[in-house]
Amino acid sequence: MTPVVEIKVRDHGPYKVTGPVRLIDAEGNTFDVGDGPIALCRCGWSKTKPFCDRTHREEGFESCERASD
- Specify the pTM: 0.83
* 11 assigned to some structural domain: yes
- Domain holding 9, by residue range, is 1-20+37-64
Which contiguous run of DSSP H or E holds residue 55?
A: helix 55-59
- CA dist., res. 30 & res. 25, Å (int): 7
pLDDT of residue 41: 96
- CA dist., res. 2 & res. 60, Å (int): 38
Domain tally, the chain: 1
Run means of pLDDT, 10 residues per run, the chain, 69 residues:
88 93 91 84 94 94 86
* 51 assigned to some structural domain: yes
- CA dist., res. 31 & res. 63, Å (int): 27
pLDDT of residue 3: 82
- The CATH number that applies at residue 12 is 3.40.5.90
Coil, helix or strand at residue 50: coil
* 53 assigned to some structural domain: yes
